[in-house]
Amino acid sequence: MRDREGAGAPARLALAAELLLLDGLPRIGRAAAGLLAVAVAAGWGFAALVIHEHELDLREAGNALSPMGTLFADASSPLTAWPGWAIAAILGLSAARLRRGGLEPPAGRSNPREQTATELRAGLRREYAGARWALVALGVLTLADLARLAVSGVSALISVAGAGDGLVWMGVEAGGLVAATIALIAWLLSFRGQLERIGALRAPQTRPRRGAPGG
């Protein structure tokens, strides 16, 4: 049992690296990318709190705020809390449908009936790559929002002015982004499984012809 679990751990790490577009990096590169993402998210958590306090000061002084400034001054609210949960619901339903059914032809201008099997597989691989880029973007956004929640929560505990504004809605917002990230991972795993089933996960390797120079 332990041997099986030990053998499965590298496979899970390799799959996670593939989903996050880190499979081309060595281990130290993957670790550096993870640390960089955490550092950037933590920096954003502190920066968001500073900007929030600055915009509040401007509002209290009677200055007109820009739409972005108003968004920072208002902090999290029902307006910013619902999108993550909506995305999570849509992706969750799509992942369930994908597991039950089959793959649909890749989106594009070409008529699927006019494409060869090789072209269809290439289109599905491009769709998979695009969804992985979306996961990276959503993961960074989720990490940044969690850092903002942590910084604001700790700051509110030590009575920093304005840190607790919208804290509950901030938690709901961050929870929605976490749920959306999990739902996108579930969709990607389902899509990847379908690609693997039809042999479209990897691009075909071209073999040099016999007698060719260097062959």
The pLDDT value recorded for residue 20 is: 92
The pLDDT value recorded for residue 65 is: 86
The structure tokens 């795993």 sit at: 189
The pLDDT value recorded for residue 160 is: 78
The pLDDT value recorded for residue 215 is: 45
User: Can you give the residue ranges of every domain in the chain?
Assistant: 7-197
Q: Which residues of the chain have pLDDT under 50?
A: 1, 212, 215
Mention every residue, 6+ apart, whose C-beta is less than 8 A from residue 161: 53
pLDDT in tens, 155-181: 888 877 777 788 899 999 999 999 999
Kindly report the pTM of this predicted structure: 0.82
